[in-house]
Chain A
Amino acid sequence: MRIDTIIDRTYYWIDESARRTSLAMARKLSRRNFISKLGLFLTGAASFPLLPVARSFAQESVQEIGDPQSCDYWRYCAMSGTLCTCCGGTYTSCPPGSEASPITWVGTCTNPADGRSYLMSYNDCCGKAVCSRCGCHNTEGDKPVYFNSNSSTVLWCFGTENTSYHCTVSLVLGAADE
């Protein structure tokens, strides 16, 4: 039997089981039943607007404009290093086989698409030879090494198994003007 056939049959079995269970529950349970109430609550909750705190965490996606492989891209205002977007990664993901450093430096960049300022985290991707494509060195708000949380000069491969530098990504942590 081919593997595709096995997978198809497994999916069919899961679908069929779920369908049968749902029908059985609908026949047996009254509307006052707890599960019915829970389902009603969940359905109703979705129709209410989210509270302000929840909305800030559920930030709508950031509008993007420009070329992420260019050093002029808005996220890179305090970037120093090699752009992971040119090395098999994206501005939020490390290239295959590299290791994302959990410890970072930060900066504040203005997004020309919406005019808002965003708190940026620059994470190094580590454990491979330096990529050396699309070098980028911007120094907006950059501070010397003795003030290292705002220093782009530092090699930030800390907390990783291997400490060689490969490239850097830039993540939005939140809006800086809220």
Chain B
Amino acid sequence: MDTMISPDAPVADPIAGLPEPEGSETEERIAVATQWQLMSMRFRKHRLAMASLIIVILFYLIAIFANFLAYADPFKTEAYRSLMPPQKVILWDDDGFNPHVLAVEGARDPVSFKRIYKTDPDHKIPLRLFAHGYEYKFLGLFRTDRHLIGVADDAGVTAEESIFLMGTDLLGRDLFSRLMRATRISLSVGLVGVALSMFLGVLLGGISGLYGGVIDITIQRLIEITRSIPTIPLWMGLAAAMPRDWSVVKIYFAITLIISLIGWTDLARVVRGRFLSLRNEDFVLAAELAGAGQLRIIFRHMVPSFLSHIIAAMTLALPAMIISETALSFLGLGLRPPAISWGVLLQDAQNIQTMANTPWLLLVAVPVIIVILAFNFLGDGLRDAADPYG
């Protein structure tokens, strides 16, 4: 029972067990605004969900401002900074408030084969807010080299050479800056994938529920077959069959496509159930009589009536996608270096050397755990709220 590898768990159906909205006729009469208000009232009652919402927003802010928050070029390698432990930031010294880090020197111990690093208490490197660093495109709009933190212009060293808030990896690249970039990619892989599987799920589930008959049976078989094939072989087959001269970015989209190809079945089942019950509702009949087209009926009239459920399902599907990406990277199928994702960083930590001597590489798992938990609680809260009469 492992969501990491199988987002389409049979028991994973997040809203299957929920009651049908009772007395939907009454509900329809209530203005939409009131329904949302009811929802937000209920949602606020779930305190953990509220906290999670804030965390999720924070993480997406990190994703958006990844380059600004990072202070070192995440691709800059340097052997003599290989596997540096995290560094202390000293805020106060004799002169008062003077945030700085100490210069670090390292060498390989010929007996233990470890790289040993020593700080030089006399060589302070002052830190500054909005300092100059490597150049990047801010929000894809304009070029800048400002970063949230960095070294003072007169420090004589670059941020790459001096700041190591979370230590460095084997290639001497700054882990914190890499983590910022990874957050951006991993959180957006989830979004794209979920959006796609939502679309497929709603479309196929809707068609299935709306038309019934042969179409329904065919789509139901399709769902059954997709669910009956273990996901890993499916991933491996599809991933390997992708044109390999694609760039990392293209592959990244293809991967999300693959994940969503497997992820849609869940939602399709739910949506089908909804459609079956909504099919006979008066407002659908009214729309049909008014001559609305099928697509219009689906997306204009039926989907909004259970949109809140879809949002909840999406929130719960996102963490599954994110963790699928890390699992794919473990299998060597997902995002691969030089791309930086949570899966790639976790893969770098998957060795005995990390456990024994460089445990800071495991820090990468912390944001992953936080985000997955936050999304789950958020989804739960949303789902609870989506049913305002419970």
A, B bound: no
Give the A-binding residues of B (Cβ under 8 A): none
